[in-house]
Structure 1
Amino acid sequence: PQLPDNLTNLSQDFILADRFRIQSKLGSGGFGVAYKVFDSFGDVVRVIKLVTRDRRNVYERLRREYKTLTNLPDHPHVVKVVWADRMNDAKQTPYIVFQYVEGLDVSDLIDAEALSLDDSVRIARESAEGLGHLHKHGVYHQDVKPSNLLWTDKGVRIIDFNVAVSEDDEIQGGGGTRRYLPPDYDHANEPDAADRIDRDLYALGITFYECLTGGKYPFDEPTPPIKTQPKDPKQFKGCADLSSSLIDVLVKMIAPERKDRFASADEFLAALVEVKRYRSVLTTGEIATGAKAVAKLGFEPTEPNTNPFVTNLLTLYSQSQVSNAGTRGLDEIGKATYVPTYLDEKLKPALLKGEFRLVIISGNAGDGKTAFIQQFEALAESKGAQ
């Protein structure tokens, strides 16, 4: 069938280039549109990206870059480029064919607040591994952002190489691109390899920040401003206890000046390995916490292959056949292993200020009602209450 002028809404079952039958539209941007297609040549599902802007220049670049892309060794975190050519329509629309991978768009996961801290770190690490692989083979993505990362059951896949953007397009801005572009990026000169690497890693830094903070942008401006430090991520919901070593790595990724940022994916990955803890350990003043405290409790096995803690564990639920004493307030182990909750964080200070005349705490046996009250009594007494 003849290609219509508007390629952004091709119908299901439309056949492109006599071989690609459209199954569904995956998305479109300023310079192209992507479809999930069935490729009759290989009896396999693929992704095809049709380039609709600046077609002639793009085809020349595609031809140059296509060999590099298709000869790239496989990498678990980079989607494979299969084929590139142009349609035989009047405008000779260039297209590029990718391997199809089932997964979820990282930008959708950020919007849904579906990423845990570990997920976010994994996304940053695996994306950096994929980018490092590309850079070693002379390929630069140049459009890293959450919507170009796919979260699959085997981790991240980097998708949609921005071969379709000519240098001129970038200078005019491309809204999506500018948001992830280093503030000190030099538009006046042709970027060299170091510029392109820096651009990919900076964009990954902004992406990592958005993953960690549930989509918050590190600046008040819509694009990275010159000589401005990013906002402290600790101010955002769920980020108050991020470890300082993790935040140091994050802030270095998006430092305002290039000399302060990571120069390569390997350098970033090495720094990330050094981060031993993603959250800082919160301790409550009046309780000794951690292994030392537990050691003091005299829990030494009395015979081989036994765990003396199990006996204690059996007292922690109300229907215990032995004893349910562990459900009634804090014993020594309870004090040593107590985990502060939202009640400690919000209700304790409110009670101390006298904000309530009556507080009712309800819950099941063993939920920690008495433990909380004992904690509060100890705190109030330490402040002179009787």
Structure 2
Amino acid sequence: MATRTLGGRYQLVKRIGVGGMSEVWHGHDEVLDRPVAVKVMAPHQATTVDIVRREARSAARLAHPNVAGVHDFGTSANQPYIVMELVEGRTLGQHLAGGPLDWRIGVRICAEVAAALAAAHGENVVHRDIKPGNIMLTPSGAKVLDFGIAAAIGTADDDPDGPVMGTPAYVAPERFAGHPATAATDMFAVGTLLYQCLSGRLPWLRATPTELVHAECHDDPDPLPEIDGMPGEVIDMMSRCLAKDPLERPTAMVAALLLAEAVDARVYVPMTDFEPAVAPTTSWVDEPTSASQAGRHRA
């Protein structure tokens, strides 16, 4: 980069993350004298300014304690960047590398994630990539990160014949049949996340992506190990989130409130509940069956 200060105010102090499409820097806002995180798109990416601006706008509309806030958007040398709340801690993925969590901790984390999604869905935004690596655990609670592939609820994919946006193990079955992302697709990811917190593994363990997608679309989740003291309502909520039919999944608000009650925790959710996703007009249960269909995903 030609300069280490963006927009005349954001000094890049230390690089704290590198991905295929972007770098994240620990930065300093020289105008407001506060630490920030700055996500800068990699120069070799063909990412358009409009796509990154859409990400910034999606997250900036969400004023919620369990969502990492967005402060600003800009470009430097034709590279778009987003200035965000600096969230310090470890990701849920890093914690799960050591095995399953205490069930009370796992349930509370998922209650907070569901509360964040209730706020997003209330703004007509679906995240589309809920997974352990996008959940930061902080002393004040869980924070949902990276609205990079967020979209308006029900919006068709930019490339219907291209890869399904998201991480395969957390993508809802109807998405592999080409249906748009809805609030219910985020809830399937919450169910997968809860299962993983409680067991230390995914609901389906398969050798290849094709086999994994087939299992998600057709097979029941592997049974959870018995967990002493955990209310049956938690298992029921997890099972409902993992339902093949999106209409059977709970709303984010319902999931947040029930899970929080199970561990005597408090979460902030909007006051109005939201209807579940509109039922697909065509059957997806028997799809996909081929490797080419199962391959429609983004790692």
Q: TM-score range by the shorter chain?
A: 0.7 to 0.9
Distance 1:170 1:34, change over 3 A: farther
Percent identity between matched residues is: 26
Bigger-Rg structure (1/2): 1
More relative contact order, 1 or 2 (CA 8 Å, 6+ apart):
2
Is 1:266 aligned to 2:253, yes or no? Answer: yes
Shift of 1:168: 3.8
Task: Report the 3-state secondary structure (helix = DSSP H, G, I; strand = E; otherwise coil) of the residue aligned with 1:21.
Answer: strand
Distance 1:201 1:38, change over 3 A: same
Task: Report the 3-state secondary structure (helix = DSSP H, G, I; strand = E; otherwise coil) of the residue aligned with 1:162.
Answer: coil
Deviations 1:340-375 (A, max 9, x none): xxxxxxxxxxxxxxxxxxxxxxxxxxxxxxxxxxxx
Residue of 94, 105, 118 corresponding to 1:119: 105
The equivalent of 1:153 in structure 2 is 139
The equivalent of 1:87 in structure 2 is 76
Distance 2:73 2:29 in 1: 13
Shift of 1:259: 3.0
Is 1:109 aligned to 2:109, yes or no? Answer: no
Distance 2:256 2:67 in 1: 17
Shift of 1:46: 0.7
Distance 1:109 1:85, change over 3 A: same
Distance 1:87 1:117, change over 3 A: same
Paired amino acid for 2:221: P
The equivalent of 1:34 in structure 2 is 24
Distance 1:68 1:179, change over 3 A: closer
Distance 2:21 2:146 in 1: 12
Distance 1:182 1:93, change over 3 A: same
Shift of 1:210: 1.1
Is 1:142 aligned to 2:135, yes or no? Answer: no
Residue of 232, 235, 256 corresponding to 1:247: 235
Shift of 1:276: 8.1
Deviations 1:17-56 (A, max 9, x none): 4433333333233322222112222221111112233322
CA contact (8 A) 2:112 2:256 kept: no
CA contact (8 A) 2:110 2:256 kept: no
Shift of 1:242: 4.5
**How is 1:1-80 mapped onto 2 (pairs within 5 angstroms)?**
2=2, 14-52=4-42, 53-56=45-48, 59-64=49-54, 66-67=56-57, 69-72=59-62, 74-80=63-69
Distance 1:96 1:163, change over 3 A: farther
Is 1:184 aligned to 2:174, yes or no? Answer: yes
Shift of 1:120: 0.4
Gapped runs of 5+ residues in structure 2?
152-156, 265-299
**How is 1:230-379 mapped onto 2 (pairs within 5 angstroms)?**
230-234=221-225, 239=227, 242-262=230-250, 264-272=251-259, 275=262
Aligned residues: 251
CA RMSD of aligned residues (A): 2.9
Distance 1:258 1:138, change over 3 A: closer
Residue of 149, 163, 170 corresponding to 1:172: 163
Shift of 1:270: 4.6
Distance 1:170 1:45 in 2: 41
Distance 1:274 1:98, change over 3 A: closer
Distance 1:178 1:122 in 2: 24
CA contact (8 A) 2:58 2:147 kept: no
